[in-house]
Chains A and B, each alone.
Chain A
Amino acid sequence: MNARNRRFWDREIETLKRRALEQLQLKRLQDTVRRVAKRVPFYEQKFAESGLKPGAIRSVADLHRLPFTTSADLRATYPAGMVATPDKVMRLHTSSGTTGKPKAIFFSRRDIDNSAELIARSLIMTGTTDEDVLQNMMTYGLFTGALVMHYGAEKIGMLVIPAGPGNSEKQLLLMQDFRSTVFHTTPSYALYFADFLEKHGIDPRQHLALRKGFVGAEPYTEETRRKIEQAYGIDIYNSYGLSEMNGPGVAFECEHKDGMHLWEDHFLMEIVDPKTSEPVPDGRPGELVLTTLCREAMPILRYRTRDITAILPEPCTCGRTHRRIQRITGRSDDMLIVRGVNLYPQQIERVLMGIPELGRNYLIELEGLDEMTVKVELGEGSFTGKVEQLVSLQNHVIERLRAEILTKPKVELVAPGSLPASEGKAKRVIDHRKL
């Protein structure tokens, strides 16, 4: 298949008129509801409790009558309590649980095909072609991140290097010898690897063939994107997904890099207030709630993702009719409450990344009775040898943080490279509070 100069993977569905798209959503929603009511005891019981008949869903607006599904529900039904088609399951993935049991996610053959299809759409949307060489630096295994991307990239016909994460020497070797043109990784590893290249005297613009990067699996800020883009001299596209909904490819940025198109023929999205569960108007931040529309093995209704985002309702100039969501600005789980103020670590990151004298790594430490200390590395080359300069930089950081998070943290400047830069999901918060 020739994917060169292709603007769309599936033009018809990607540019489907809103009305037709909504009709398709309704039909698929009704199918899904009927199937889970019959085949998944968890939903059967929920419907019985609320007296809801599957036939009562007559429009997408009736969605709010359906029950929410939470990650606690997925853990409670572990290992296989949510499966609708036990005879058709072909693959198991789990979603990283930080505590207790993981969430088990089952795929049928059709689910695997669909997840690859959405990646194919997503990659073509960024201008990638079948001539590209993908270095897939995500974790292969129980985590969906690498395998789903792998299948989607193969579907387009590009060469896929299943490098897996970490081992920077090997990543560099593969990148040089096989002339990788695109990579898929987490923002923290992208930054870590950029440092590694710099230390080894590799200038990606001169010595590597990279032209694009797909970065996801952790929330990150626009400033972090810019830092990664500058470090490699390439375009970085934000990718959103979660194992409960296939993994990556739920939403992806197009060439314009201005919000992520969420594939609405496969997922119904809602934004709700995390506390009250009431709907939030378009453009306002809230928790993303997703309903699978095409899932065969394990359909999920109104899944509380705990990811904070907002719907961008304006049409995109790329021509796709699937609405965009803002980059994830936090997890409702990550929310810290310091001295009575709600804040997300990403707010702190956004401030730090916007100050050019600072480096890439930071750590938020919470201690004692609600004392917050933000440790941040000095940028390479921003040390002038004057203690006054350090003090004024420190004060500047404190003031900028206070303006953003409305509470005054302590700030400590540390030497570049002295804070841990994780190769996987970065640990940015240490909470020692004894509250």
Chain B
Amino acid sequence: MNAVKLVTVFGENRLGWMARITRALADAGVNIRWVTIATSGAFGVIKLLVDKSNDAVRALQKEGFPVSLLDVLAVEVADKPGALHSITELLAKHRINVENSSGFVTQTHQKAVLLLEITDLDHAREALTKHGLHLLSQEEVLVI
């Protein structure tokens, strides 16, 4: 099944918190491909796409961080005007609500990846693939 695992870490809005996370990952030899932080007041969630997610979870747990793995869909889209819109429109048409989304460009003016957090992953996967969109697997997303 083509879903991508993000490592999520509980974050307190405190000096040095992020540094402790990145140090633990660096020491464990984990490469961070991409990161985003969602905050709400004094706390938040740090989401990381890493090459070795199991090593990352172990290293962070050892440091006492609350850690969890989150399945998201990674959709490959063209890096051009209207690309994101075509996807959001498609999801809206199928009444699929996106809880969170983020994206990054993989090849300038050519390709980008859109990460989608969705409760009903199967429904979304079906709708997207039916429409001819490519969902990246964990292996694929790590080699781009």
B residues contacting A by CB (< 8 A) are: 6, 8, 10, 12, 38-45, 47, 64-70, 99, 117
Which of B12, B70, B99 is A415 in contact with, Cβ under 8 Å?
B12
Which of B8, B43, B64: most chain A CB closer than 10 A? B43
Residue numbers in A under 8 Å from B45 (CB-CB):
385-387, 390
Residue numbers in A under 8 Å from B66 (CB-CB):
378, 380, 382-383, 415-416
The 4 closest A-B pairs by CB, nearest first: A385-B8, A383-B66, A385-B68, A385-B70
Contact A418:B12 (CB < 8 A) given known A378-B66, A383-B68, A385-B69: yes
Q: Is the CB of A412 within 8 A of B43?
A: yes
Give the docked Cα–Cα distance between A387 and B37 (Å).
10
Interface 1/0s, chain A 370-400, versus B by CB < 8 A?
0000000010101111111011001000000
Known: A386-B8, A415-B65, A416-B64. 9 other contacts (CB 8 A): A382-B66, A387-B45, A388-B99, A390-B10, A390-B43, A390-B45, A414-B12, A415-B12, A417-B64
User: Could you tell me the dominant secondary structure of chain B's interface residues?
Assistant: strand
Q: Is the CB of A387 within 8 A of B40?
A: yes
Q: Is the CB of A415 within 8 A of B10?
A: yes
Q: Is the CB of B64 within 8 A of A386?
A: no
Residue numbers in A under 8 Å from B47 (CB-CB):
385
Residue numbers in B under 8 Å from A412 (CB-CB):
41-43
Give the docked Cα–Cα distance between A64 and B36 (Å).
68
Residue numbers in B under 8 Å from A415 (CB-CB):
10, 12, 64-66
Q: List 25 A-B contacts (CB under 8 A).
A: A380-B66, A383-B8, A383-B66, A383-B68, A385-B6, A385-B8, A385-B70, A386-B8, A386-B45, A386-B70, A386-B117, A387-B38, A387-B44, A390-B10, A390-B43, A390-B45, A412-B42, A412-B43, A413-B42, A414-B12, A414-B43, A415-B12, A415-B64, A415-B66, A416-B64
**Within the complex, what minimum Cβ distance (angstroms) separates A358 from chain B?**
12
Which of A384, A391, A394, A413 is B68 in contact with, Cβ under 8 Å?
A384
Give the docked Cα–Cα distance between A415 and B40 (Å).
15
**Within the complex, what minimum Cβ distance (angstroms) separates A210 from chain B?**
27
